[in-house]
Each structure stands twice: as structure tokens, then as C-alpha cells.
A and B are shown apart, each in its own frame.
Chain A
Amino acid sequence: MREEIERVGQVKLVFFPYGKREWFKKGVSILDAAKALGIDLSSLCGGKGTCGKCKVKIEDGTEGLNPLTEQELKHITKEEREAGYRLACQAIPTTVVSVYVPERSRIGKQRLQTEGLEVPVKQLNPFVKKYFVKLSKPTLHDSRSDEDRLLDALNAEYGLPTDLDLDFEICPDLASRLRDADWAVTAVNWKNKIIDIEPGNTSHRCFGFAVDIGTTKLAGFLMDLNTGKVVAVASKMNPQIPLGEEVMSRITHQMMEGKKGVKELQATVVSGINEMIEECCEKSNVEKNEIYELCFVGNTAMQLCFLGIYGRYVAFAPYPPVLRRGINIRACSVGLTAHPRANAYHVPVIGGFVGADNVAVILATRMLESDEICMALDIGTNTEIDLGNKHLVMVDSCASGPAFEGMQIKHGMRAATGSIERVSIDPETLEVNYRTIEDEPPVGLCGSALVDVPAELLKAGLMDLTGKFLLEMAKETDRLRRGPKGILEFVLVPQPETATDTDIIVTQGDIRELQKAKAAMRTGAEILMKRLGEERKETLAEDDISKLFIAGAFGNYIDPENARTIGMYPELPLERVDFVGNVAGTGSRMCLISKEERECSEKISTTVKYHELAADKDFQKEYIDALYFPHKNLNRYPDTVNLLRRLGRIR
């Protein structure tokens, strides 16, 4: 993102957690600026300062704001004032200001997809198990230690080994625990340890928490370890976003701030996870100390940030990760609120750019067990592509960028109330039809619409295969016009219909950003097909791929045909495309409830072969070819070519 420090007569505003930034004329209020950017900041009074709904937190640049107005003094408490809160309609910036829009001040909740495929585990076999035992009281004839009495009983009743360790933390008052419970207790067993002794029979209350630490969002699942079922779900934006919008900036934050930055990133994400635990527990009447184990997946940078590990070197070629294997730590040691002796397990990673989240994808799609060759595409700011079957799975990762998340797109936004999620253009009349989330007036475009737009422009003949808007079509529709600096743009929704104060448009520059993003993904797929083919000593074609799994946040909402039309993935029959949603979360849940799945993830981590895309000799050529719609090499897209031919777009 380009940054300038100063512009005459203008001020720059940055909005979190959206990552939106723009210059405005001096004198603009934060509320007006937010509205102009399509940010869903709530305001009932229309900016008079009377409703107090538009509270925002100033992250940076407080000194560049006007003093608090009378209206603000009415609505903002002393604590809030000290924390940097203002009413967006009253605050007028004079310099660069960073603004955080808290959840409660947003009109609609962001749609954070948490659902993912439900995959049956090989065996429900959690590491944590509870055993209820009634012990015989000590007598003069049986004066075994309390410890042996317990272990012998567990052995006699459940066949547990007698050499289990008693976590020393429970030993100081072990004697009274047993006696207070009148010798009827439940032992909590994790691996070869007894981590707690609870009075009475609590064996039906045994919970775990599975987490997917995404760069932009967190998803948490409270699981019943006895049944393997999800009890409650929570999700939220990753609170680390203000410390860096993507993985590289977060690592940079560590580098710039040193130990303090490492700690700060860790504490921030842990607090987000704790909020999800809190929320899930509240929803389901579970106590936090009934959570005995937690399981985590995330990309390698998130793993480092979460565990508080200095990650500098993962960011430099050749991008080696620090740790690869799965990691067990005591949850409370990083500040997680759960049972005081709960274990936190982090799923292993594959490489610097292929983390535990991708291990989870391979696990949940069962690629490494498949006879047929499958491809998986986990779409995000970094897109990971997996290809292979039980003999060999290869993976690469490409910087597809945040364009499909709506960033760096003029009117792009994340999926939230009022964002356009579907677009179609009538090839005859060139009129635009669209649908918004919750049918609210349109604010901007989210990822699924950003897949539709280029496909529809192409089909309507408004854009050619190189992605260039066709100026001569301006004669047919006034939606196509020249914008500032002579750059062409297409009006999707004229202002009277929008919830903002401008037309919602897509610019030629936006198309270029989307081309870069889709080309990166397509190149990743192409190169893997080539390299896996070499490993298998055969030429791999589209037809050899029996299944394409599309994972990731917006996967479930995109139109598979339009995605194919723009060349986001190789041309496969649509029935082979499977949208699996947040399978990283699925994998995290599987590893939480099954020892076998955890072993399987360790196997994936060691056997899946990472391929460094940027170092591949064919990368540049393939990337350039993939920039075209759908691809430079049209004979790779026969169905798409037929479609465009029927519409008269190509001869």
C-alpha cells in the first residue's frame, strides 16, 4: 500500500479492522470519512452528536484531533475518554489518524464464516479422558499411599497403567481432596498424567476448545470430548490486525519492536481467543476450567506470533520455519483461560509459508489417503495449493494478496451487511443486477461479487481477454465512463440506490488487482501440476484431477462457474468442484478429539512436499499467461471458450 505523509489541505484516515485508508479534505469528520469509504459505522442522529452510537477508538494521532465537544462529554465516559474514544461525527482530524471501529459501533456484524466440512474422525479418541472411581478407605490393614490407592483403583477399573504421573500441582492437597469427596472422585487424565482430581462423578463434563487462528479472523469451537460434537462456536476479527494487516507486517512488527512486539502480538491474539472461550462457555453453560485441552491451527507466521516466537527468518528467503513439529504447552503459560493444567496443542506446520492450517486442509480433505489425484485451494491473502494423492502430495503458496477480501479495490469491502455479494450483467441491455447481504442498500463489494464482476464484464463484452475495458462500449452504455486521471470505470450501482454518497464502481485499476490475485493462484496450480507430473513421470492434465476442494472464507459464497470463467482455477467440470469452507477449523477440531488424527497431521507435516513457487524457473512465464482471462492458453479452457463464443465475445 502506498503511503504519503502529507498532502496540502488534506488529511489521511486509516480505519481498522477494515484496513481502509484514504485522503480527505481537511474539515471532514471521521463519520463522514467512514461513510465515504462504505464503512458500516452506525449513526442514528445523522451526525448531530446526540445519539452517541458512533463511538470509535483513536489508535493513533489523538493529538491531531479537535478537543472533545460538549455532545461528546455527554456520551463518553471518563474511562472511555482515557482509552481514546471519540464520537466519529464530532471528531475532526487535522493530521493522519488511525481509527478503530469497535464491534458495537458497527451497523451489521461482519459475516465471519466458521462453518467447514464435517469430517468423521477415524476414531473418537481424545487425549483427555475422565475416569470416575470409588476408592476404599485406608485401614490398618491397607495403608497404601493416597497416590497408589488412586492409581490402583484406576488400573483395576479402567486398566490404566499404574505408572501414571500425578501432576505435582494437585499433590499438595491431594489428601484432603480425596477425603472431602468421601473417596468418590473423577480423575482427569491427559496422556500419561493425572492433571486433576475432581469430587464426585464429573466424567460427563469434559470439554476441549479448537481454534483456527486466521490472519484476519479467529474461529473457535467448544467441543464435548465425550461425544466429539461441537457445543458452541465463536468467531471474531483477529485483534492483531492493527499491529499489521497481513503476516509480513506482523513479523515486521516483531522485528521493529523486538521482545516487546513479540509479547504484544502474543497477548493480543490470546486475548481474542479468550474472548471466544468466554463467549462459547456462556452460550453453553460450560465452566472455563472444564476445558482440559485446546488445539490450534494457523499459518506459520500466526504460529510464531501465538507462541511468542521471534519470526524474523521465516520472512526472508529461503523462508525456513522455526519449529515444524506439533507443540504441547501448558495453556495458562501463554495466558489462555481454561483449566489451569489444560494442554494447548499446536498442529505441526510444513514450511515457512505453509502452516498448520494447510496441514488441517490436507487432513480434512483426506487427500493423503486418496487413490485419485485431488487439488485443494485454500484461498486467502496467501493462497495455498495442494495437489496429489496417497503416493505424494505437493504444496505451494502464493501471495494472492487481499484483493478478493475487498482490499486495494476502490469499493471493495469484507463480507458484511450491505455488501454486494452477487453481480450479473445482462449481455443485451448491459443492465446490472445485484444482491446484497441481508438485502440492505449496497455499501460496497465483497469477495464473491469481485469474482462475478470480471466474469460478467467479459460475458457482456465490456472487457476483453486481456482485462481491458472496451472504450467503444461507452457508446452503448453510460455506465462505462472515464474517471479521474482518465482511468476507465464501470458503474455497478448509481448513487441514488447506494447507502453511501457515491456511485459504486469498479475501475480498470480494480480489474488489474483482481487479475494479479487470480493469476497468482492459477500459477500456483499450474506449476504444481507440472512438478507433480515430473515426480510421477507423466504429464498431468486437468482431466487427471478428480476433485478440486475450494477452502477458505469466501469459498462457499463464490459462483464456481464465474470463478472458472476468470481462470481462478484449472478448467474442470463443475461437478468436480467442492466448496468445503473453513476446513482449517475442521482439521483443528479433528486433531482435538482424535489421537489418530493428530498422528496423521504429524505424518502430513513430514511427507507433504513443499515447492517454492517464486524460485520456480517457469514462474514468471506462467504468471504472465495466467494474467489473461481466463488464460493466455485458451485451449486449456474449452468450455469457457465455448461460452464466450456463444455470446459472440470471441470468434
Chain B
Amino acid sequence: MGEKEKILDRLRQAVILGETEKCTKAAQDAVDAGIEPWKAIKEGLAEGMEVVGEKFENKEYFIPELLLSAEALYGGLNLLLPLLKIEQVEAREKVVLGVVEGDIHDIGKSIVKAMLTAAGYEVVDLGVDVPASEFVKKASEEKAGVIAMSTMMTPTLMSMKEVEEQLAKKGLKGKVKTILGGGTVTEEWRSRIGSDAYGEDAVQAVDKVKMLVKEIKAALELVEKKRKK
């Protein structure tokens, strides 16, 4: 293992074990060793977070471990993100994230935020009890392709429906894709309100967001092609 590879591995391990100090230190070492920041993020932090995701999937890791890993991840990111080149920053897809109106449970949202950030997305976190109009407004302002919303309670599922309705009203449906998550959300509910995806857990949420972003890009390319013709 070369020196640089060793540093990347330290980044991965620090995230996996949830060791913030070690992660920040490794990130600094990466910079000092001349590793490209985006490479340190992608092959270090993000790969570490992927392992964390797998461990969470097979129940070996639980919420505390996940949050510790997220903390370590942010420790590294805080150092590395400001060093990205402007075009690298712009290339990060944006996701607007929040807990829907009427609900204030946000542990799940914090986990999804960490997983998305690790996967390279820029997450605009709107917090909890977010009105439908706020989701739609922020998505336009930030030019975000994806709105991710969650709730833990049953009646507040209705607030998700309202976001869909407002998107439709503004003609944004399809341009802005939505993904749902949270304890009470089901695939059935997703299809009922016409949302674009449902993530059963944080790991799935990332996969689904990736899929949505791909769909958006494909649609844009199609438009582009038609225009060229």
C-alpha cells in the first residue's frame, strides 16, 4: 500500500469506526500529501460511509454507530469541501431535505442527510415541520433536482401529498423529483400520491436518489437532443 493509499484507508476506517478526530487528522494528512480533495472524499470518506451503510443494512450497526460515523464524516468534509474546485462544487447535485409539516421527528432525517452528503450530494436541510410551499420554493431557488421528505407519523403523510400537489400546480412535476421516507411511509403511499421514489431506509434512499438524478439527466439530454435537431 502506497503512502496515499494508506491515508485514504485511514479516512475510510475513521468513518467506519466513527472517530471524528482521527478522520479530521487523516483529511489534513491527505491534503498535505497532495491527494486531490475530491479523491479524498470519494475514495476515502464516501467509501467508508458505504461500508457503514452495509453494516447498518445487516443490523450490525445501529443508530448510535451511524451517527458517530456521520460525525466523523462531517469532520473530514468540513476540511475537504472548501478545497474543492469551483466546477467540482457546481457539479454536486442538490437535494432539498426536510421533515414535512406537522412532524418534528428528525433522527432519521439526520441519518439520510449524512448518507446523501457522503454520496456526493449537496444537501439543503430545511429542518422539521417544513410547509409544502417551503419545499417547493427552496427547490426552485436552489435549482435542486430532488426533494426528499420524511415523516414518522401517519396523518402527516398528507403533508407529503400537498408537496406533490404544489409541484404539479407550478408545473414542476418531473423537473423536480421527490423521494419519501420515514417510519409510516409505504410504497403504496408513494404510488398513491404520485411521488417518484420511496426509500425504505437511509441506504436505499441514496440508491433511489441516484436513480432519480440519472432520470433527470436523461430527460435533460433528451430535451437537448431535440433542440439540436
Q: For residue A240, give the distance in angstroms from its CB to the closest CB of chain B.
A: 14
Q: Is B102 an interface residue (CB 8 A)?
A: yes
Question: A252 near B59 (CB under 8 angstroms)?
Answer: no
Q: Is B166 an interface residue (CB 8 A)?
A: no
Q: Is B125 an interface residue (CB 8 A)?
A: no
Contact of A248 with B187 at beta-carbon distance under 8 Å, contacts A512-B59, A620-B107 already known: no
Question: B58 near A486 (CB under 8 angstroms)?
Answer: yes
A residues with a Cβ closer than 8 A to B are 1-5, 244, 246, 248-249, 251-252, 255, 312, 315-317, 399, 466-468, 485-488, 507-509, 511-512, 515-516, 614-615, 620, 623-624, 627-628, 632
CA distance A4 to B189 in the complex (A): 10
Question: A507 near B59 (CB under 8 angstroms)?
Answer: yes
Question: B155 near A255 (CB under 8 angstroms)?
Answer: yes
Q: Is B82 an interface residue (CB 8 A)?
A: no
Chain B: CB-nearest residue to A508: B59
Q: Is B158 an interface residue (CB 8 A)?
A: yes
Contact of A312 with B58 at beta-carbon distance under 8 Å, contacts A2-B186, A624-B64 already known: no
Q: For residue A57, give the distance in angstroms from its CB to the closest CB of chain B.
A: 23
Chain A to chain B: the 7 pairs with minimum beta-carbon distance, closest first:
A316-B102, A315-B155, A3-B186, A248-B154, A508-B59, A252-B154, A3-B188
CA distance A24 to B43 in the complex (A): 41
Q: Kindly list chain B residues whose C-beta atoms are within 8 Å of the C-beta of A627.
A: 62-64
Q: Is B165 an interface residue (CB 8 A)?
A: no
Question: A1 near B186 (CB under 8 angstroms)?
Answer: yes
Highest count of chain A CB atoms <10 Å: which of B129, B154, B157? B154
B interface SS class: loop
Question: B58 near A4 (CB under 8 angstroms)?
Answer: no
Interface size bucket, B side? 20 to 34
Q: Kindly list chain A residues whose C-beta atoms are within 8 Å of the C-beta of B191.
A: 5
Chain A: CB-nearest residue to B191: A5
Question: B104 near A615 (CB under 8 angstroms)?
Answer: yes
Question: A2 near B154 (CB under 8 angstroms)?
Answer: no
Q: How many A-B residue pairs have CB under 8 A?
A: 84
Chain B 101-130 interface 0/1 with A at a Cβ cutoff of 8 Å (1 = within): 111111100100000000000000000010
CA distance A627 to B61 in the complex (A): 12
Q: Kindly list chain B residues whose C-beta atoms are within 8 Å of the C-beta of A244.
A: 154
Q: For residue A11, give the distance in angstroms from its CB to the closest CB of chain B.
A: 15
Contact of A624 with B188 at beta-carbon distance under 8 Å, contacts A315-B155, A486-B58 already known: no
Chain B 48-70 interface 0/1 with A at a Cβ cutoff of 8 Å (1 = within): 00000000011110111101000
Question: A315 near B59 (CB under 8 angstroms)?
Answer: no
Instruction: List 12 contacting pairs A-B, 8 Å CB cutoff, sorted by A.
Output: A1-B186, A2-B187, A2-B200, A3-B187, A248-B155, A315-B156, A316-B156, A488-B60, A515-B62, A620-B106, A620-B110, A627-B62
Q: Kindly list chain A residues whose C-beta atoms are within 8 Å of the C-beta of B158.
A: 255
Q: Kindly list 17 other residue pairs between chains A and B, CB separation below 8 angstroms, not including A316-B155, A317-B102, A317-B104.
A: A1-B186, A2-B186, A4-B186, A249-B154, A252-B154, A315-B154, A316-B103, A468-B62, A485-B58, A487-B59, A488-B58, A507-B59, A508-B60, A509-B59, A620-B107, A620-B110, A628-B64
Q: Kindly list chain A residues whose C-beta atoms are within 8 Å of the C-beta of B59.
A: 487-488, 507-509, 511-512
Q: Kindly list chain B residues whose C-beta atoms are within 8 Å of the C-beta of A249.
A: 154
Q: Is B152 an interface residue (CB 8 A)?
A: yes
Q: Kindly list chain B residues whose C-beta atoms are within 8 Å of the C-beta of A620.
A: 106-107, 110
Q: Kindly list chain B residues whose C-beta atoms are within 8 Å of the C-beta of A246.
A: 154
Highest count of chain B CB atoms <10 Å: which of A244, A246, A317, A614? A317
Chain B 173-201 interface 0/1 with A at a Cβ cutoff of 8 Å (1 = within): 00000000000101111010000000010
- Of the residues B57, B58, B154, contact of A251 by C-beta under 8 Å: B154
Q: Kindly list chain A residues whose C-beta atoms are within 8 Å of the C-beta of B187.
A: 2-5
CA distance A312 to B62 in the complex (A): 33
Chain B: CB-nearest residue to A248: B154
Q: Kindly list chain B residues whose C-beta atoms are within 8 Å of the C-beta of A2.
A: 186-187, 200
Q: Is B168 an interface residue (CB 8 A)?
A: no
Q: Kindly list chain B residues whose C-beta atoms are within 8 Å of the C-beta of A466.
A: 62, 64-65
Contact of A251 with B65 at beta-carbon distance under 8 Å, contacts A486-B58, A507-B59, A614-B104 already known: no
Q: Is B84 an interface residue (CB 8 A)?
A: no
Q: Kindly list chain B residues whose C-beta atoms are within 8 Å of the C-beta of A512.
A: 59, 62
CA distance A515 to B186 in the complex (A): 23
Q: For residue A458, give the distance in angstroms from its CB to the closest CB of chain B.
A: 15
Q: Is B220 an interface residue (CB 8 A)?
A: no
CA distance A399 to B184 in the complex (A): 13
Q: Kindly list chain A residues whose C-beta atoms are within 8 Å of the C-beta of B62.
A: 466-468, 512, 515, 627
CA distance A256 to B1 in the complex (A): 60
Q: Is B222 an interface residue (CB 8 A)?
A: no
Question: A248 near B103 (CB under 8 angstroms)?
Answer: no
Chain A: CB-nearest residue to B200: A2
Chain A: CB-nearest residue to B187: A4
Chain A: CB-nearest residue to B155: A315
Question: A252 near B64 (CB under 8 angstroms)?
Answer: no
CA distance A488 to B186 in the complex (A): 26
Chain B: CB-nearest residue to A489: B59
- Of the residues A248, A255, A312, contact of B184 by C-beta under 8 Å: A248
Q: Is B83 an interface residue (CB 8 A)?
A: no
Chain B: CB-nearest residue to A511: B59
Q: Is B219 an interface residue (CB 8 A)?
A: no
CA distance A620 to B111 in the complex (A): 12
Contact of A399 with B152 at beta-carbon distance under 8 Å, contacts A317-B102, A620-B106 already known: yes
CA distance A251 to B154 in the complex (A): 8
Q: Is B211 an interface residue (CB 8 A)?
A: no
Q: Kindly list chain A residues whose C-beta atoms are within 8 Å of the C-beta of B81.
A: none
Q: Is B33 an interface residue (CB 8 A)?
A: no
Chain A: CB-nearest residue to B63: A627
Q: Kindly list chain B residues whose C-beta atoms are within 8 Å of the C-beta of A615.
A: 104
Chain B 135-157 interface 0/1 with A at a Cβ cutoff of 8 Å (1 = within): 00000000000000000111111
